[in-house]
Amino acid sequence: MDHDSMHNMSPPSSSSSMTNHTKPHMMMMHMTFFWGKNTEVLFSGWPGTSSGMYALCLIVVFLLAVIAEWLAHSRILRGGDATSRAAGIAQTAVYTLRTGLSYLVMLAVMSFNGGVFIVAIAGYAVGFLLFGSTAFKKPSDDQKISGLLPPSSGCVC
Beta bridge partners of 40: 47
Amino acid 143: pLDDT? 57
Query: How much is the pTM?
Result: 0.67
Question: pLDDT tens-digit profile of 53-97?
Answer: 999 999 999 999 999 999 999 887 776 666 788 888 888 999 999
Rounded Cα distance, 65 and 119, in Å: 9
Element (H, E) at 120: helix 114-131
Query: Cα separations (Å) of 152 from 67, 147, 149, 157?
Result: 40, 12, 8, 12
Q: Sign (positive/negative) of CA torsion 142, 145, 151, 155?
A: negative
Rounded Cα distance, 132 and 15, in Å: 56
Question: pLDDT tens-digit profile of 118-128?
Answer: 999 999 999 99
